[in-house]
A and B are shown apart, each in its own frame.
Chain A
Amino acid sequence: MSDRSSPSKVSPAGYVLDCCAAIGNGILNILQMFGSIVAFAGQTLLHMLTPPLFVRHLFRQFIDIGYYSLPVVGMTALFTGMVLALQSFTGFSRFNAESAISSVVALSITRELAPVLAGLMVAGRVGASIAAEIGTMRVTEQIDALTTLSVNPMKYLVVPRVIAGTLMLPALVLVADIIGIYGGYIVSTHVLGFSAGNYLTQTWDVLEPIDVISGLVKAAVFGFIVTLMGCYHGYNSDRGAQGVGAATTNAVVSASIFILIFNFLLTQVFFS
């Protein structure tokens, strides 16, 4: 009891300093993390450009990241397109502007919703599994074992995943564009009673190449972000099951936030 008296003597200035120290430490930690992420990304790019490339691993990742994400991304796109058609109908019918539905669906899907939602879904599916897998390899010393067997773990584990993510997400988004627009088409023609021909002509008229291309460029950036975050957090995972759990969470959260930030930045670059 008696030795508890000393902390109560801290002066008000002491409290202010403590607060400043806490805030400062937090900011320093964030800056340090940004720095090490950028360094990690730089290293990844460097290793991408220098041989050897593990081609078999690359194809394996194409399948894992691309092909196996198709159902998730496809479902997301289908229902997003359908909801868009329903929502814009209820909104636009007040202004007798129902004919704008096809344009709204086509533009929102290709420019924004397909890349962002596909990116977020893949962050949950692929980013988490990459972080957990590489994190477990870190914890069980498999990454150290790679180094002692003269294989660079960046080249063996990180590079194939990041290349596959960067190339496969645009492919997924292209599929999502088609499925999303088809979702809007189904609702418009079967539920809202529009003519199929009109819907398709309007979609075709309103779409410009830049709409689709900007979406695909975004997708490539998001694919890079998702796989890089998964690899970074897994690679730097702390010891133990808790460390791997934290790495998985951080991978998904940071990938999702970076996707939203970069979506804004890229939109500004393309459309302003």
Chain B
Amino acid sequence: MSDKIKLQLKGVTKSFGPKKVLQGIDLSIPEGKSMVIIGGSGTGKSVTLKCVLGLIQPDSGSILIDGQETVGVTGRARDELMRKFGMLFQGGALFDSLPVWQNVAFGLIHGKRMGKDEARDVAIEKLRAVGLGSAVADLFPAELSGGMQKRVSLARAIATSPEIIFFDEPTTGLDPIMADVINDLIVECVKNLGATGLSITHDMASARKIADYVAMIHEGKIIWTGPVKDLDNSGNPYVDQFIHGRAKGPITDRADLSVKAA
């Protein structure tokens, strides 16, 4: 088993005005493993993900991919770096002006300069991998249901065979069955590509299914991290409260959203 670290965050901080969203995130993900970050809304999950993707510039700290510093990389080098990434957005973020197959093939046509016919073949193959027939290829995203849009978005994320795939709340807004289908697809696709996965979610069923490792984020810091099998006996009261979804506990005791008699 390779223990090579694919992605490493060291002391990453980010503030928006007076609000300190990230207060020193430390995290490392071994190559070929799937890390799931769990945590409540507004704890900095999405910002962490966007910092790694380079969509947000962190205030300090470093983000290493294959041991290479990526903070502050811009221009051509950033485009080159992005080619290693695949991303499944929360809302799908499909381009509504393009048909499904062009959405899936977008990274191939524009990023990898592949010919249109070849890219279309790859797109249809990837659509099949997520359980969609070739009839879907010429539809527009607006004509698809939420679950199908998620599948297309997943197909787009894996189309360029990226080394690292990011999943932003992959099951939000789906019914429990479709959520499980997407979870299975994520596990399958990541395993097949041998890619490293980084997901953020607050859906515990999803986290248990797709994670090799779990990290819990709270108030801009990683407060617990470990293999998914240790999740139930983490010995951390914050993690216990979160995974059991209790309204009372250390997370809500200090936060403003604590349950008070109105």
A residues with CB within 8 A of B: 137, 140-142, 144-145, 147-152, 156
Besides A142-B95, A149-B156, 6 other CB < 8 A contacts? A148-B85, A148-B87, A149-B107, A150-B79, A150-B110, A150-B111
Complex CA distance for A140 and B86, rounded to whole angstroms: 17
- Cβ contacts B42-59/A at 8 Å (1 or 0 each): 000000001001110000
**Docked CA distance A108–B85 (Å):** 57
Tell me the complex Cα distance, A145–B166, Å: 12
**Are A147 and B110 in contact, with the CB atoms below 8 A?**
no
Report 25 cross-chain contacts, Cβ distance below 8 Å, ordered by A residue: A137-B95, A141-B89, A141-B93, A142-B93, A142-B96, A144-B53, A144-B87, A145-B94, A147-B54, A148-B82, A148-B86, A148-B87, A149-B82, A149-B107, A149-B156, A150-B79, A150-B80, A150-B82, A150-B83, A150-B107, A150-B110, A150-B111, A151-B106, A151-B110, A152-B79
A149 touches B55 (CB 8 A): no
Contact B79 A144 (CB under 8 A): no
- The distance from the CB of B195 to the nearest CB of chain A, in whole angstroms, is 14
For the A-B complex, the count of residue pairs with Cβ-Cβ distances under 8 Å equals: 52
B103 to chain A, nearest CB (A): 9
Size bracket, chain B contacts = 20 to 34
Q: Across the interface, do A145 and B111 meet the contact criterion of CB distance under 8 Å?
A: no
Residues of B within 8 A of A140 (CB): 91, 93
In the complex, what residues of A have CB within 8 A of residue B94's CB? 142, 145
- Chain A residue contacts of B82, Cβ below 8 A: 147-150
Contact yes or no, B90 A141, CB < 8 A: yes
Within 8 A of A (CB), among B156-176: 156, 160, 166
B106 and A148 within 8 A (CB): no
Q: Which residues of B have CB within 8 Å of A149?
A: 82, 106-107, 110-111, 156, 160
Residues of B within 8 Å of A152, CB to CB, are 79
- Shortest beta-carbon distance, B119 to chain A, in Å? 13
Scan B96-140; emit 1 where CB is below 8 A from any A CB, else 0: 100000000011001100000000000000000000000000000
Hey, which chain A residues are within 8 Å of B86, CB to CB? 148
> Chain A: which residue is nearest B50 at the CB level?
A144
Chain B contacts for A148, CB-based, 8 A: 53, 55, 82, 85-87, 166
Q: Which residue of B lies closest to A148 (CB)?
A: B87
Q: In the assembled complex, how far is the CB of residue B173 from the closest CB belonging to chain A, in whole angstroms?
A: 13
Q: Is the CB of A145 within 8 A of B55?
A: no
3 smallest beta-carbon distances between A and B, as pairs = A150-B111, A141-B93, A145-B93
What are the residues of chain B within 8 A of A150 when measuring CB–CB?
A: 79-80, 82-83, 107, 110-111
Q: Pick the most buried of B87, B93, B96, B160: most chain A CB atoms within 10 A of its CB.
A: B93
Closest to A54 in B: B110
**B83 contact set on A, CB distance < 8 A:** 150
Q: In whole angstroms, how far apart are the Cα atoms of A141 and B88 in the complex?
A: 11
Complex contact B89–A145 (CB within 8 A): yes
**Roughly how many angstroms separate A151 CA and B107 CA in the complex, as a whole number?**
8
- Minimum CB–CB distance from B120 to chain A (whole Å) comes to 16
Contact A141–B106 (Cβ < 8 Å): no
Closest chain B residue, CB of each to CB of A144: B55
Q: How far is the CB of A221 from chain B (nearest CB, A)?
A: 29
A193→B96 CA distance, assembly (Å): 55
B230 to chain A, nearest CB (A): 32
Give A155's nearest chain B residue, CB to CB: B110
CB distance from B130 to the nearest CB of A (A): 17
What's the nearest-Cβ distance from chain A to residue B104, in Å? 11
Chain B residues near A156: list those with CB within 8 A. Answer: 110
- A141 to B157: give the CA distance in the assembly, Å: 14
Query: In the complex, A140 Cα to B91 Cα: how many Å?
Result: 7
Cα separation A45 to B80 with both chains bound (whole Å): 23
**How many angstroms between the C-alpha atoms of A152 and B82 in the bound complex?**
11
Which of B50, B54, B95 has a CB less than 8 Å from the CB of A145? B95
In the complex, what residues of A have CB within 8 A of residue B110's CB? 149-151, 156
Inter-chain CA distance A150–B160, complex, in Å, is: 11
A interface footprint on B65-83 (CB within 8 Å = 1, 0 otherwise): 0000000000000011011
User: Inside 8 A of A145's CB, which chain B residues have their CB?
Assistant: 87, 89, 93-95
How far, in Å, is A113 (CB) from chain B's closest CB?
35
Which residues of chain A are within 8 angstroms of B80 by Cβ–Cβ distance?
150
Residue of A with least CB distance to B159: A149
Q: How far is the CB of A264 from chain B (nearest CB, A)?
A: 38
Q: With both chains docked as a complex, state the minimum distance between the C-beta of A52 and any C-beta of chain B, in angstroms.
A: 8
Residue in B89, B107, B111 whose beta carbon sits within 8 Å of that of A144 in the complex: B89
In the complex, which residues of chain A have a beta carbon less than 8 angstroms from the beta carbon of B95?
137, 142, 145
Contact B55 A147 (CB under 8 A): yes
